[in-house]
Amino acid sequence: MIHQYKLNDYNIVLDVNSGSVHVVDEVAYDIIAAYETTPRAEIVAQMMAKYGDREDVNKAEIEQCIDDVEALRDAGKLFAEDKFRDVAVNFKANNTCIKALCLHIAHTCNLNCSYCFASQGKYHGDRALMSFETGKRALDFLVENSEGRRNLEVDFFGGEPLMNWEVVKQLVAYARSIEEAAGKNFRFTLTTNGVLVDDDVIDFCNREMHNVVLSLDGRREVHDRFRVDYAGKGSYDNIVPKFKRFVESRGGQGYYMRGTYTHHNTDFTNDIFHMADLGFDQLSMEPVVCAPDDPSALTEEDLPILFEQYELLAREMIRRKKEGKGFTFYHYMIDLTHGPCIYKRVAGCGSGSEYFAVTPWGELYPCHQFVGDERYSMGNIWDGVKNEALRDEFRKCNVYSKPECADCWARLWCAGGCAANAYHATGSITGTYAYGCELFKKRMECAIMIQVAEAEEGGALSDGAACGDGCSDCGDCTDCH
Amino acid sequence: MKRIQTINTRDLAKSVKNGGCGECQTSCQSACKTSCGVANQKCENKNAKK
């Protein structure tokens, strides 16, 4: 399977099953489009009819191009077969380890954002803070169930985690005290709305948090539409100076300035550019997750506008990078040479199999987006996963278990997408959230186009890109092996 | 090739042999929190060639 598209004056051909990316001229673009369904002589005739008046096009040239297409096919870089179903599906199905937890350290919040999927941090339940003892047991549970894995991810989430800050610090200290003997490496992430950020939070996070996710929706009027306190006062003026101080002191460590866009700001690139203009350079902007009848929900009519926005964003990112004012956007951060292996691309999200959310009371859910839905209560950190049938459903949830993914060119970039989104849209974790699929595919087209533009800028389109920093020595790319 | 240029990419077929260490990030948890694709995840395999 291939996918062809034109964007920013590039003709791009993706080979789905090999992961190959080709940049072609319009003649080759049309030849490739016709190749699988049209006899060679007919392709030549069609191309001559369409391009024969061009100086660089003649029958021999077209024949040569078809030969090149066939050489790529023979090399497994074009029209490659899907040989992964059997080898990769079992990888997830047979996995028994747990390697990541989302600790719901506080089911309460100091903001009152009406669009919050977690119902202002309460997850449709009672307000609560996780105790140190519960959190400590969660970390022990993670160590006990992660045999064979070194990197353990723990996310402090809410509600607003800083409303239970002392426990966060105690849990990090506890994890550091046990990780060496256990042969583990804890990677912590804190997600915060910024209201309670102070020097203590900044210093501690810069020492201990692998990543911090800072919630900012963009322009003041956009941010303050939803992100208000219980008196209805917007939080922008309070948090932006704190976030600036936080990021400036982070010393290059990871962070995301993360926003949510809704039906009310479909021109969300202006919010991303606003963040960039504030000096933030690691950005994320997500479509709102809410019920379809919510006034904030994105509509079918919004979709073409959003497509244009993602394209505009990609072009602007290229321009700003050339000017030395570049920034990253979460969904455009792809690494073509050292990205995920085929196992990851088939297995997708580990929710409900190797990743769980832990409530303040120690209950286990497949991920933070299932918390509060009793049908998805899977056990607890003292007794372990009790609902093995449900865990098995998640283990078997992969890109091949979703019928709608079979014909999708983006399936090995997406891996079937978010189980929670699928469940909320269709009632099944093996369904697909069609609206999200459309956005994902547009983002992938843009992300790959940026890679093409950067390869062209670096003279690496035909000569081969050099391995950059962060090479994982996977042995699979053509750069260094 | 005159009309076709190819960007270097990870060979997915080869990664059948070298991949599957399981050390990479498992979900959207450290990032967007609301969707999960895998395209932008980093490979963490340190032992693929051993």
Quick: pLDDT tens for A298-313: 999 999 999 999 999 9
Residue A417's SS3 state is: coil
Quick: pLDDT tens for A411-431: 999 999 999 999 999 999 999
Which residues make Cβ contacts (< 8 Å) with residue A208, sequence separation at least 6? Answer: A172, A176, A188
Residues of A in contact with B5 (CB under 8 A): 22-24, 461-462
What ipTM does this complex have? 0.91
Residues of A in contact with B8 (CB under 8 A): 336-337, 460, 464-465, 477-479
- A91: nearest CA in chain B? B20
Q: CB pairs below 8 Å between A and B: how many?
A: 264
Give the pTM. Answer: 0.93
Supply the mean pLDDT for chain A: 93
- B13: nearest CA in chain A? A18
pLDDT at site A473: 55
CB-based contact (8 Å) between A339 and chain B? yes
Contact present, A476 and B14 (Cβ < 8 Å)? yes
Residues of B in contact with A413 (CB under 8 A): 37-39
Kindly state the average pLDDT of the residues A128-136. 98
pLDDT at site B39: 82
**How close A38 gets to chain B, by Cα (Å)?**
19
CB-based contact (8 Å) between A360 and chain B? no
Report the distance separating Cα A480 and Cα A468, nearest Å.
10
Report the distance separating Cα A54 and Cα A69, nearest Å.
21
pLDDT at site A468: 45
CB-based contact (8 Å) between A461 and chain B? yes
Report the distance separating Cα A78 and Cα A29, nearest Å.
13
Phi, psi dihedral angles at A130 (to 5 degrees): -75, 135
Residue A28 has pLDDT above 60, yes or no: yes
